[in-house]
Amino acid sequence: MGPGELAERIRQRFPEVLEARREVTVTVTPGELTSALEYLRDEEDLSFWFLSDLTATDWPSREPRFWIAYHLQSLEHAHRVRVKVGLAGDDPRVPTVTPLFPTANWHEREVYDFFGVEFDGHPDLRRIEMPEGWVGHPLRKDHPLAGVPTQYKGAFIPPPDQRGV
Partner 1 sequence: MPVQRVSGVQLGRTEDELREEAERGILTTTVGKAVAWARKNSMWPATFGLACCAIEMMAAGAAHYDLARWGMEIFRASPRQADLMIVAGRVSQKMGPVLRQIYDQMPEPKWVISMGVCASSGGMFNNYGLIQGVDTIVPVDIYVPGCPPRPEMLMYGILRLHEKVQREARLK
Q: Give contact residues for partner 1 (rule: CB under 8 A).
A: 129-131, 134, 136, 138, 143, 145-153, 157, 159-160
Residue 68 one-letter amino acid: I
- Whether 82 contacts 71, CB under 8 Å: yes
- Measured from the CB atom, the residue of 48 and 114 that comes closer to partner 1 is 114
**Which residue number, 18 or 157, has a Cβ lying nearer to partner 1?**
157
The smaller minimum CB distance to partner 1, of residues 44 and 161, is found at 161
Q: How far is the CB of 148 from partner 1 (least distance, A)?
A: 5
**Smallest distance from partner 1 to CB 135, Å:** 10
User: Rounded to the nearest whole angstrom, what is the least distance from the CB of residue 108 to partner 1 in the complex?
Assistant: 19
Nearer to partner 1, 95 or 138 (CB): 138
Contact call for residues 117 and 56 (beta carbons, < 8 A):
yes
Contact 115, 56 (CB under 8 A): yes
Indicate the residue among 21 and 153 with the shorter CB distance to partner 1.
Answer: 153
DSSP 107-156: HHHHHHHHH--EEET-TT---SSSPTT--S-TTSTTS-SS-PPEEETTEE
Cβ neighbours around 62 below 10 Å, total: 11
Shortest Å, Cβ 92 to partner 1:
19
Taking the complex as a whole, how short is the minimal distance between the CB of residue 128 and partner 1, in angstroms?
Answer: 10
Q: Which residues of 15-42 are buried (b: 16+ CB within 10 A; e: fewer)?
A: eebebeeeebbbbbebebbbebbeebbe
